[in-house]
């Protein structure tokens, strides 16, 4: 008697599309950077509260050195997703204009009932770790043109 398990499991990995080649390569560098994130390590990188805010940002776990935050993985609770931090935006903070037309402080308060504890600190520019896309879908037919286009990178500004 043979039992059949109809469950299918998929492993989603970041890939690199090589121009002029027909192969897709796994982006192991991104995987290494993500796995070296503080999210996957014990909280030894967290510093004491007495450290000034200059080179540190206040996160939910306490103040963290900006060098630890850059190129690391963060979980954004109100978006229920992981993001890869690419830059710290020193010219933007919680009082800066959000795409909704109000400040980040007001937007988060009204939409998610979130009160920012440190709205004066810089925003993080981050890219969502993964976004599900149907790669079998013909994007040429959907757009009405004969030439397929590449997906654009999209970054979020996170307080």
The 10 Å Cβ neighbour count of residue 121 is 19
Q: Are 84 and 127 in contact (CB under 8 A)?
A: yes
Spatial strand order in the sheet of 73-76: 73-76, 81-93, 122-128, 155-158
End-to-end Cα separation, the chain, in angstroms: 57
The CATH code for residues 15-158 is: 2.170.260
pLDDT in tens, the chain (159 residues): 555 566 777 777 888 877 776 777 888 888 887 777 666 665 554 444 444 445 888 887 788 888 888 888 888 888 888 888 989 999 999 999 998 899 999 999 999 999 999 999 999 999 987 766 666 666 555 555 555 555 566 788 998
């Amino acid at each position: 008697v043979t039992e059949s398990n109809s469950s299918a499991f998929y492993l989603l990995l970041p890939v690199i599309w090589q121009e002029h080649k027909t192969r897709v390569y796994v982006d192991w560098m991104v995987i290494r950077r993500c796995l070296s994130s503080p999210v996957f390590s014990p909280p030894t990188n967290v510093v004491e509260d007495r450290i000034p805010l200059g080179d540190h940002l206040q996160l939910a776990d306490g103040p963290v050195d900006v060098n630890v935050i850059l190129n690391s993985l963060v979980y954004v609770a109100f978006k229920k997703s992981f993001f890869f931090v690419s830059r710290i935006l020193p010219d933007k903070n919680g009082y800066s204009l959000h795409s909704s037309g109000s400040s980040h402080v007001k937007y988060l308060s009204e939409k998610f009932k979130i009160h920012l504890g440190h709205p004066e600190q810089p925003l993080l520019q981050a890219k969502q770790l993964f976004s599900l896309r149907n790669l079998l879908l013909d994007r040429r037919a959907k757009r009405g043109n004969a030439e397929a286009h590449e997906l654009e990178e999209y970054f979020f500004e996170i307080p």
